Amino acid sequence: MKKLLIGNEAVAWGLYNGGLSVISSYPGTPSTEITEFLAKHDDIHTEWAPNEKVACETAFGASLAGVRSACAMKHVGLNVAADPLFTLSYTGVTGGMVICVADDPAMHSSQNEQDSRHYAIAAKVPMLEPADSAEAYEFAKSAFELSEQYDTPVILRMCTRIAHSQCVVDIGEREGTPRKEYVKQPAKYIMMPGYAKVRHPLVEQRTENLRAMAENCAYNRIEDRGSEIGIITSGCSYLYVKEVFGDSVSILKIGMPNPLPEKKIREFAAKVKKLYIIEELDPVIENHVRSLGIACTGKTLFSAIGEFSQQTIREAFRKEGVDFGESPEKQGEAPKVPGRPPMMCAGCPHRGMFYTLAKNHITVLGDIGCYTLGAVAPLNALDSTLCMGASVSGIHGFNLGMNGEAEKKTVAVIGDSTFMHSGMTGLVNIAYNATNSTVIILDNSITGMTGHQQNPTTGYNIKGDPAAKVDLEALCKALGIRRVRVVDPYNLKECEAAVKEELAAEEPSVIISRRPCVLLKYVKAKTPLKVDAEKCRACKRCMGLGCPAISMKNGKARIDTTLCVGCGVCEQLCPFGAIGEV
């Protein structure tokens, strides 16, 4: 069956046809769709775990039980799952295990641009890196065999461009793999010092065995065109090189960035007069090539920052004086136009709470999710965003660092899913180590930014079936917070009263700002509001909300009725009663 697939759907098909039984993941752009596509199959188990560490350890358990398993996450998710990863390298697997990780060069939807290849090197596990959907399918499928053959988890590295680009993939049939019999193996699976000391040399030997395999495997391939220059490249950079040079230059295409071959690189380098290394982000291949004593040009010509494109390749080789045929000729220059940054949707339930915080000049430690958009103008409500859960842990440290002076004017904001992911432990710390911190859980009843995934607070599982639902109020109380209250963020008075009272309280507190995401299908829009131009005095108070439905036209506020969902927050702000249902 031939189908046009995004890279993530291709990975899903590869894992499925490769005999996957269990996948546990945490959503994160650009990795989310891998698990969403797999959830369409009823003969395997798919789930959203509370975080990537839980997901990775669930996949470990399934592998231990003897079935093929996987977990998927974005690059920063692998930081969370790094703890099991490093020791999984020692234990190895029973059923094949694949860790899918998606990097985000150019940070389309991320807080950093880290290069996951360093994890494969540091944890000493093999990594595969496809260049398009067709390879993503093949690599994902074969990763299970690689995993079982070499007794190791395998990391499959994607990046945004490959994860979200489509090409035609030939999808084969699912190969059922029977569960291996469970045998208790203490020396393999109990990683206490006595046993781990025996496992480590096996890990080193495994790397040597894998490197020997890397010399001749189909993942790394030489396209010898007899050219003077030679290019070693991997992932989508390969596609850009091919776009510019076609079949006119010799290429060593790396599909397995760890461990890298030695002989194959020497063989390739010997064929060409000048060697270039083209890889996005860090000089991983380049450093390896240099360690072999081979001269090459890499990061001095191709930046460690952002994504590449065929234009990047053309511009670099033009500087080098290398001929690559014609360059495209553009019609003209684009005029300078205002930017269009992403923003909170009209009717977003986060807006009312952020307006309240900004109005009262509260210091706000933020977290990861749609609500990071509270940082942009005109609300400018955030002071920090670091990583999942850092708002809750961070406010505790901030209040300690400020020696109590900031407690009455500082809050942490965190979403429901992010709180489940890694906010809970921070809240325990607030209660246990006693700072008078105020945490606001922005509960929009869904994992929003990644495209509406269920989580333990929503009451539904990945398939939309009813599931155990975490009671956030009871949970916060059980963690040691006595003051827990719920507010409706569409009600500005209620928000302000809650924020002021909880900041004034002489003990830690949690405010749950609860209203479902306005984009959820079951949330019905109310009648759009209108501005009575007669009553509007152009005070622009409503404009302070940063609602995309409100603008100033001909000196009066105007509401775009195709965008307005009638949340009524602007109506509460208008001192002249000019906004309402007309």
Partner 1 sequence: MEKTTSIMIVGVGGQGSLLASKLLGNLLTDEGYDVKVSEVHGMSQRGGSVVTYVRYGEKVYSPIVTEGECDYIISFEKLEAARYASCLRKGGRIIVNTQQIDPMPVITGSAEYPENVLEELKNQGFQIDDFDALAPAMEAGSAKAVNIVLMGHFAAHTSIPKEKWMAALEKTVPAKFLEMNKKAFCLGYGE
Q: What is the distance between the alpha carbons of residues 382 and 379, in angstroms, rounded to a whole number?
A: 8
As measured in angstroms, the least distance from the Cβ of 543 to partner 1 is 7
* β-strand partners of 275: 230
| Out of 14, 18, 19, 30, the residue judged to bind partner 1 by CB under 8 A | 30
| Out of 319, 340, 361, 521, the residue judged to bind partner 1 by CB under 8 A | 340
Helix (H, G, I), strand (E, B) or coil at 17: helix
| Out of 61, 194, 306, 378, the residue judged to bind partner 1 by CB under 8 A | 378
Residue 338, interface with partner 1 (CB under 8 A)?
yes
User: In degrees, to the nearest 5, what angle opens at C-alpha 161 toward C-alphas 375 and 9?
Assistant: 105
| Residue for token pair 């990391």 | 155
Residue 341, interface with partner 1 (CB under 8 A)?
yes
Quick one: 7 or 84, whose CB is closer to partner 1? 7
Residue 445, interface with partner 1 (CB under 8 A)?
no
| Out of 207, 450, 453, 455, the residue judged to bind partner 1 by CB under 8 A | 450
| Out of 49, 236, 365, 420, the residue judged to bind partner 1 by CB under 8 A | 236
CA distances from 426 to 152, 319, 462 (A): 33, 51, 26
Helix (H, G, I), strand (E, B) or coil at 550: strand
CA distances from 95 to 65, 309, 324, 361, 365 (A): 7, 38, 47, 54, 42
As measured in angstroms, the least distance from the Cβ of 356 to partner 1 is 19
Residue 543, interface with partner 1 (CB under 8 A)?
yes
Quick one: 152 or 447, whose CB is closer to partner 1? 447
As measured in angstroms, the least distance from the Cβ of 158 to partner 1 is 13
As measured in angstroms, the least distance from the Cβ of 132 to partner 1 is 8
Quick one: 82 or 376, whose CB is closer to partner 1? 376
Range 469-488, binding partner 1 (CB under 8 A):
none
As measured in angstroms, the least distance from the Cβ of 378 to partner 1 is 5
| Residue for token pair 């749950």 | 512
Q: Which stretch binds partner 1 (CB under 8 A): 27-35, 136-144, 486-494, 567-575?
A: 27-35
* DSSP symbol at 528: P
As measured in angstroms, the least distance from the Cβ of 377 to partner 1 is 5
Q: What is the distance between the alpha carbons of residues 441 and 255, in angstroms, rounded to a whole number?
A: 43
Pairing of strands 530-531, 438-443: unpaired
In this structure, what are the phi and psi dihedrals at residue 80, rounded to the nearest 5 degrees?
-70, -35
* β-strand partners of 98: 70, 154
Quick one: 201 or 328, whose CB is closer to partner 1? 328
Residue 309, interface with partner 1 (CB under 8 A)?
yes
Burial 390-400 (b: 16+ CB within 10 A, else e): bbbbbbbebbe
> What residues have CB less than 8 Å from 190, skipping those under 6 apart?
none
Range 384-423, binding partner 1 (CB under 8 A):
none
* β-strand partners of 551: 558
Helix (H, G, I), strand (E, B) or coil at 563: coil
| Out of 226, 337, 521, 524, the residue judged to bind partner 1 by CB under 8 A | 337
Residue 525, interface with partner 1 (CB under 8 A)?
no
Quick one: 74 or 157, whose CB is closer to partner 1? 74
| Residue for token pair 């290394």 | 277
Quick one: 44 or 169, whose CB is closer to partner 1? 169
Burial 11-45 (b: 16+ CB within 10 A, else e): bbbbbbbbbbbbbbbbbbbbbbbbbbbbbeeeebb
Structure tokens at 537: 């005095």
Per-residue interface string for the shown chain with partner 1, residues 139-168, x marking contact by CB under 8 A: ----------------------x--xxxxx
Quick one: 61 or 246, whose CB is closer to partner 1? 246
Residue 1, interface with partner 1 (CB under 8 A)?
no
As measured in angstroms, the least distance from the Cβ of 367 to partner 1 is 14
Per-residue interface string for the shown chain with partner 1, residues 241-270, x marking contact by CB under 8 A: -xx---------------------------
Residue 325, interface with partner 1 (CB under 8 A)?
no
Burial label for 304, CB within 10 Å (0-12, 13-18, 19+), is middle
As measured in angstroms, the least distance from the Cβ of 161 to partner 1 is 7
Residue 306, interface with partner 1 (CB under 8 A)?
no
Instruction: Identify whether the C-beta of residue 374 lies closer than 8 Å to the C-beta of residue 354.
Output: yes
| Out of 34, 345, 364, 382, the residue judged to bind partner 1 by CB under 8 A | 345
Residue 329, interface with partner 1 (CB under 8 A)?
yes
| Residue for token pair 């210091």 | 363
As measured in angstroms, the least distance from the Cβ of 418 to partner 1 is 14
Burial 168-185 (b: 16+ CB within 10 A, else e): ebebeebeebeeeeeeee
Helix (H) or strand (E) holding 56: helix 52-64
As measured in angstroms, the least distance from the Cβ of 541 to partner 1 is 13
* DSSP symbol at 517: -
Q: Find out whether the peptide bond into 378 is cis, omega within 30 degrees of 0.
A: yes
Q: Using CB under 8 A as the criterion, which residues of the chain lie in contact with partner 1 when the complex forms?
A: 4, 6, 29-30, 32-33, 108-109, 132, 161, 164-168, 236, 239-240, 242-243, 309-311, 327-335, 337-345, 370, 372-373, 376-378, 449-451, 543, 546, 548, 550-552, 562
